[in-house]
Structure 1
């Protein structure tokens, strides 16, 4: 007699809520360190930073606005729950990143330290969002869809996109800042590529 397989684990609503809040705080802290050093990153956050540096736009508002078209894709590809969690996560990161400016003022930080600490903090934050069926919108949604449907690792998709974005950043930032930014993106995507595997962790 073969026993019935154990049901897949599911997060309770409170577990999802605290997980998404904590993960968003990690991502917002990483972005705050990045801005303090005048660096950028990939994804919609990176594009928002380029626009903020080049045009003087508010990063948080720009980041939120850029993600709006991707919420429809999230709804269609992975359902209303994923879409709602992604919308909540993007909103939380936008608000927290703005709130950190007066609360955690940094006069100076070495760009190498900012890049590595950003990569670790934001990478762990993204892992937390992924494991609670959320995301930071934009390219991360596309990366998760490609991983689910075609087995393409999410970190690899983001690295390819980031390289194109960093080429664009050279028009706005000094080459040294772009180089340090690439280090941060490599750390972040390395954290995701090495640790985000649906066959290792399945919960929704």
Structure 2
């Protein structure tokens, strides 16, 4: 008998595909505007800007060290789903510029769109037992080991990333980028409630 509180394999596949696809589109908006963001994606964006390497391969490689912690902290199924999501997103980021072109995109509007689209992408991944890896896994691990709140770890990492961004981008661009990061976090904070959505 099918458990109504669990997703089927097909439901997981479409959720991960949607999440990875929308995340890739959001990064396409972000990098088109030369903006930055937080977490692991933000680190990959900064490396990409500083070196000229493509975001997709950088993001894929940056996430590799975190899978072991994800396995230890959450389990093999989570790691497998996350690996698939990260791989799909990394590939799609390289393809989207061939499919989408922006004749004009206001940076402030673009930052808000990035935040909203990224937030919906992450919600889809969370609800299907996946993520885009990285800092969130480390934050949960440190919380387990030391009691230091995961949210504080993520905030501190974001502050460091945005401080580094000031060396690569002007203050206005970084401020607009911070707006996008704020929108991402608001979308997740308002909509990600395990007590209201229990399927995994």
Give the TM-score normalised by the residue count of structure 2. 0.90
**d(CA) in 1 for partners of 2:116 and 2:162?**
19
**Does the residue aligned with 1:200 lie in a helix, a strand or coil?**
coil
Which of the numbers 73, 79, 83 marks the counterpart of 2:69? 73
**d(CA) in 1 for partners of 2:170 and 2:118?**
23
Write the mapping of 1:121-160 to structure 2, written as runs, cut at 5 A.
121-143=117-139, 158-160=154-156
Q: Which residue of 1 aligns with 2:6?
A: 10
Which of the numbers 38, 46, 58 marks the counterpart of 1:62? 58
**d(CA) in 2 for partners of 1:41 and 1:131?**
22
Q: Which residue of 1 aligns with 2:164?
A: 168
Q: Which moved more, 1:73-82 or 1:144-153?
A: 144-153
Contact preservation (8 Å) 1:135, 1:141: no
Which of the numbers 33, 38, 57 marks the counterpart of 2:34? 38
**d(CA) in 1 for partners of 2:190 and 2:142?**
17
Q: CA RMSD in A?
A: 2.2
**d(CA) in 1 for partners of 2:97 and 2:140?**
30
Contact preservation (8 Å) 2:136, 2:150: no
Residue-pair matches, total: 197
Contact preservation (8 Å) 1:37, 1:111: yes
Deviation at 1:203, TM superposition (A): 2.0
**d(CA) in 2 for partners of 1:8 and 1:27?**
28
**d(CA) in 2 for partners of 1:189 and 1:100?**
24
**Inter-CA distance 31–153: structure 2 relative to 1 (3 Å threshold):** same
Contact preservation (8 Å) 1:153, 1:193: no
Q: Which residue of 1 aligns with 2:198?
A: 202
**Inter-CA distance 146–16: structure 2 relative to 1 (3 Å threshold):** farther
Deviation at 1:26, TM superposition (A): 1.2
Contact preservation (8 Å) 1:37, 1:108: no
Are residues 1:184 and 2:180 paired? yes
Segments ≥4 residues shifted beyond 6 Å: 146-151
**Inter-CA distance 147–92: structure 2 relative to 1 (3 Å threshold):** farther
Q: Which structure 1 residue ranges, 5 or more long, are not aligned?
A: 1-6
Contact preservation (8 Å) 1:158, 1:189: no
Q: Which structure 2 residue ranges, 5 or more long, are not aligned?
A: none
